[in-house]
Structure 1
C-alpha cells in the first residue's frame, strides 16, 4: 500500500502591479513635449502662425484697414474675426503655440544644462585597455624618461592646447593621461537655446508692458504734438498699459533738413524739434533716421518726410479757413497724394445753419518738381518747381456718420452714391505757390506754400535690452556650436620590458565625440609633440 503524502499548494503569486496610467501618460507627454524635435516643430508652427498677421490687416496696427477689409470681403471677414485673424498676435491659438514653445525650451534646456555642468565637474574617463579599437591610435615609441615623468610632460603639453587632462597611476606601475576638449560646442548649443528663451521672454513682456504709436508731425509752432492717445494717427497699448502710463512730453518740428543725390535717392534726413518734458523748459533736439530721440524711456524714430500744402479756402459768403494738409508720398520722388476737407464752410450768416450739401473738399497730387514732359509724377524729391493739381468736390463728405475713415482720401462711397460730386471736370486744376483758383460759385482756393512734415514712430519696449542681449548671445552660441568639436585623447606610459632595460613605452589613442574631419591631423600633431617632448 502506497502512502501519498499530501502537501499544501504553494501560495498563488500576486497579480502583476499595474502602473498608474495617468502618471505614465503625463510622463510620456512631458518627454515628448521637451524633446528637441518637438521644439523645432513648435518653432516652425510659430513662424507659420505669424503669417496671417502680415497677410490680413491687424486691428492693433490699423483699425481703419480692418474696416475696409469688412467692406471689401463681407462674407470672409466675419469668419476671420471669429478665429482671431485680425488680432493674430493676441489670439488664444497663437499664445498657445508661444507658451508651448516656451515650456518645451525650458524642459529641453534645463536637463541639458545640468548634465553639462556635471560633465565639466567630473574627471575625464580613464584610458581604454586596447587603443587599437579606437578610430585613431599610434604606434609605440620609447622614451628615456620614467613613466610618471613622461606622463606629466604629455599632460602639460595637452593643457597648453586647452585640453582638460588628468594623470592616473595604474596597478601595474603604468601611467595614463586622459584628456578631453570641445565642451564649447555644447556650451554654444545651450547658450543658443537660452538666448531663444530670453528673446521669447522679451517679446512676451514687451507686448504686455510696451506701447507704440505713429504720428505725422507737421512743421510749425501751431502743429505741436503731445504724447497722448488722442493725438496719435494710430497707436497700440500693451494689455498691462493704460493711457495714464504714457510719459509726458511734447514735440514741435522746428526744422527739417533733407538732402538728395542727383538721382533723387535720399542722402540725409535730419529733424530738429523743440522738446518739452514734464512741463519743463523747452529744449532743442536733433535726430536722424539711424539716431532716434530718447525721451523718458521711449524712442522717437524718424521714418520719413513729406510736404504739407497750405491751403486757404474762402467760401461764397467771404469766410476764409486755412488748413495745413499733409500729402502722403506715393513714390521715391515724393509725388504725394492727399485731400483737404472743409466741412464747416458755406454757413449762411443769416440763419447760422450749415448745409451739408455745400461742404467742400479738394483732392489731388502735389509735385515737388514738375516733370518737363508734363507727366503726373515728380521729377525730383526736392522742391525745385512745385505745383499742386487738385480736383474740387462739393456735397456731403460723410463725416457725420461716426464711421472711422482715412483723412488722406475721400469716401468713395459718397462719390459713388452722388452725395459728393466732382465740380472741376475731367482734368485737375493746376496751382503754383501764390496762385488763386476761383470756383463757379464765387468761392476761392489759394495755394500759400508748403511746410515739411516728419513721419515719426514712437515706441516703448521695456525688454528691448533683453531681446538685444538674447540675439547677441544666440549668435555667439551658434558660432560656438559650429566651431567647437568635442574629442578625447589618451596616452599610456608603461615601464620598459624587461624592467632592467629602463626607459618607457608610450602609445596614444583618440576618439572624436562628433563628426570632426580634422581630428586625424590634430591627433597626429599631438602624438608628434608628445614624442618630441618625451624624447
Structure 2
C-alpha cells in the first residue's frame, strides 16, 4: 500500500549572493570612466580651454607690470579674477587639477592597451573563415598542381605581411603600425606633460636690461633682475653663479631701415673659470652652464653729465626705451635726486631735485618738430629734453617706474618744468640756476632673457615622437588576407589544376584595399613555381 506524503516540500536553499561593497564599486566605476579615451579627450579639451585666460590676461610670472596696470584699468573686475587665479593660470589649483587628471587618465588608458597590443603582436594571424566568398574582397584562381602554401607565404612576407601557414591555408595580417602609432602618440603626450611639469617646477627665468660698460656688469642674482620668476622647487641660492658685461653691440640695417643683423659681445665671468668673451644673436642664444641667455631687444642709453649749482657733478646712463617706432625713437628720463645738496649743511631742499624727460632720436630730421627718428642707426643723434625741478616723489616709498616721471608730481605742482632743449653729442645746456647738463654720448644696451628649462630636451624629443605616432595612427590601416589551396577535383596532383581561393578583410575603413588585394592576388598567381618556369621557357 502506497501512502502519499501531503507535507509541503522545502525548496533547496540558494547559494548566498556575494554582497558588493558600494564604495569599491564606486571607485571601480570611477576609475573606468576616468581612464576611458572619451574622458581623456574631454580633459584635453578642458586643458586647452583653461589655457585661454593665460594667453589673454597678463600673468604675474611673465609681466607683473601689466598685471598692476590691469588692476588700475579694471578696479572692479581685476580683484575677482585674481581670486580665481586668472593672473597666475598655469599655477592655479584648477589648472593643476585638470593637468593631473589628464595625466592619470592617459596612463590608465595606455597601460592596458599596451598590454593588449603586445599580446596581439605575439599572436599568430587568425585562421581563415570557412566561407571566404563572404568577405568584402574575394578572388578564386586556378594554380598549377604544385601550388604551395609556403610559396604564397613567401610572397606575402616579401611584402611585409605577418604570415602564418596552417596546412593548406595561409593567414596574413598587416597594419599593426596604426595601434603602435596610437600608443606612441599618447605616450609622447605624457612625456610632453612631464616636460612641462619639470620646466614649471625646476625652471626659472628673468629679464634684464644690460648697458655696455664695466660699471653696469650684471651678476646672476634675483635682486639684479628687472623681473624674475622661479619655479616652486627653485630657490634663489640655486641660480648658477656668473656675471656678464656687455662689451659691444653691433646692428646692421638695410637702406629701408629694416634690421639685417644683431650681434652682442659679452664678457663672461664664472667662478673657477677663466673670464672669456662670447657672442650671441637673436636666434643663437648664449649657452652657459645651467642657463641660456637670449637677446630680446636693444637700444641706446644717453650718457648725461649734470653739474648742479654747487659744482657737484653726477652722470646718468639710464636706458631710453623704444616707443614702437621702426626707426628706433626712444623715450626715457634721467633722474638726479641727490642734486643741489648744500656742501655746508649736507642737506638738500625738498624742491631742488632735478630730472630730464624726453626723446632720443638716433637720426634727427633737419627741421622741427623733433619728435621721431628718421633711421634706426645713429647717423645724426640728438636728445630732445625737458628739464624739471622740484620733488620727484621718490622719498614717499610709492612704487614707480624708473623709465618715466611720476606724473602725479607734475599735476600737483610739486615738480615744475624749467626749460626745453635739443642737444647733440658734446653740447652743454645751462639752466636758469646756473647748473649745466652735458650730453656726453650714448652707450648701447641689450634686453636679455636668462632662462633655465630642464624639460626642454624632453619636450623636443616627445614632440617629434608625437608627430611620428600621429602619422602612423592616421595613415596606417589594419587589414587581413587569407589564401586557401584546394586540391584538384580528382584528388590527385596529376588529375588537374589546384584552386587557390583568396579573401581580404580591412579592419578599418581603407579605400585603397581593393587595389592592394588585387595586386596581392596577381603577385601570388604570377609567382607560382610552374608558371614562372613556363614564362622563363617562353622567353
Q: What TM-score results when the alignment is normalised by the length of structure 2?
A: 0.93
Listed one character per residue, the Cα deviations across residues 29-75 of structure 1 (whole Å, up to 9, x for unaligned) are 21221122222221222122222223333222233333333333332
**Post-superposition offset of 1:397:** 2.0
Name the residue aligned to 1:142.
142
Q: 1:14 to 1:481 in 2, by over 3 A?
A: closer
- Between the aligned partners of 2:226 and 2:269, the Cα distance in structure 1 is 20
Listed one character per residue, the Cα deviations across residues 127-152 of structure 1 (whole Å, up to 9, x for unaligned) are 111112211111x21211435x2x11
**Residues 64, 404 of structure 1: 8 Å contact kept:** no
CA RMSD after TM alignment: 2.0
Name the residue aligned to 2:403.
408
Gaps of at least 5 residues in structure 1 are 170-174
SS in 1 for 2:527: helix
SS in 2 for 1:498: coil
**Post-superposition offset of 1:186:** 1.4
In the TM superposition, 1:148-159 aligns within 5 A as: 149=148, 151-159=149-157
Q: Aligned pair 1:482/2:480, yes or no?
A: no
Q: Aligned pair 1:453/2:406, yes or no?
A: no
Q: 1:403 to 1:495 in 2, by over 3 A?
A: farther
In the TM superposition, 1:18-417 aligns within 5 A as: 18-138=19-139, 140-147=140-147, 149=148, 151-169=149-167, 175-331=168-324, 332-371=326-365, 374=368, 376-417=371-412
Q: 1:84 to 1:497 in 2, by over 3 A?
A: same
- Between the aligned partners of 1:373 and 1:129, the Cα distance in structure 2 is 96
Listed one character per residue, the Cα deviations across residues 281-331 of structure 1 (whole Å, up to 9, x for unaligned) are 211111111111111121111112111111111122221110111111122
Q: 1:503 to 1:250 in 2, by over 3 A?
A: same
**Residues 64, 405 of structure 1: 8 Å contact kept:** no
Q: Aligned pair 1:497/2:489, yes or no?
A: yes
Gaps of at least 5 residues in structure 2 are 532-539
Deviates more, 1:82-91 or 1:396-405: 396-405
Listed one character per residue, the Cα deviations across residues 235-286 of structure 1 (whole Å, up to 9, x for unaligned) are 1111111111111111111111111122211111111111111153211111
**Residues 343, 356 of structure 1: 8 Å contact kept:** no
- Between the aligned partners of 1:372 and 1:107, the Cα distance in structure 2 is 72
**Residues 145, 488 of structure 2: 8 Å contact kept:** no
Runs of 4+ in 1 over 6 A off after TM superposition: none
**Post-superposition offset of 1:398:** 2.3
SS in 2 for 1:357: coil
**Residues 199, 454 of structure 2: 8 Å contact kept:** yes
Name the residue aligned to 1:172.
none
Deviates more, 1:247-256 or 1:38-47: 38-47
Q: 1:3 to 1:227 in 2, by over 3 A?
A: closer
Name the residue aligned to 1:444.
436
- Between the aligned partners of 1:295 and 1:3, the Cα distance in structure 2 is 104
Name the residue aligned to 1:519.
513
Name the residue aligned to 1:528.
522
- Between the aligned partners of 1:463 and 1:305, the Cα distance in structure 2 is 29
- Between the aligned partners of 1:525 and 1:286, the Cα distance in structure 2 is 60
Listed one character per residue, the Cα deviations across residues 83-117 of structure 1 (whole Å, up to 9, x for unaligned) are 11222221111111111111111112112211111
Q: 1:60 to 1:355 in 2, by over 3 A?
A: farther
Q: What TM-score results when the alignment is normalised by the length of structure 1?
A: 0.93
- Between the aligned partners of 1:208 and 1:3, the Cα distance in structure 2 is 86
- Between the aligned partners of 2:49 and 2:366, the Cα distance in structure 1 is 48
**Residues 156, 172 of structure 2: 8 Å contact kept:** yes
- Between the aligned partners of 2:91 and 2:189, the Cα distance in structure 1 is 20
Name the residue aligned to 1:466.
458
**Residues 269, 289 of structure 1: 8 Å contact kept:** yes
- Between the aligned partners of 2:396 and 2:466, the Cα distance in structure 1 is 52
Q: 1:372 to 1:135 in 2, by over 3 A?
A: farther
Deviates more, 1:480-489 or 1:244-253: 480-489
**Post-superposition offset of 1:207:** 1.1
Aligned length: 524
**Residues 146, 495 of structure 1: 8 Å contact kept:** no
Deviates more, 1:23-32 or 1:206-215: 23-32
**Post-superposition offset of 1:11:** 4.9
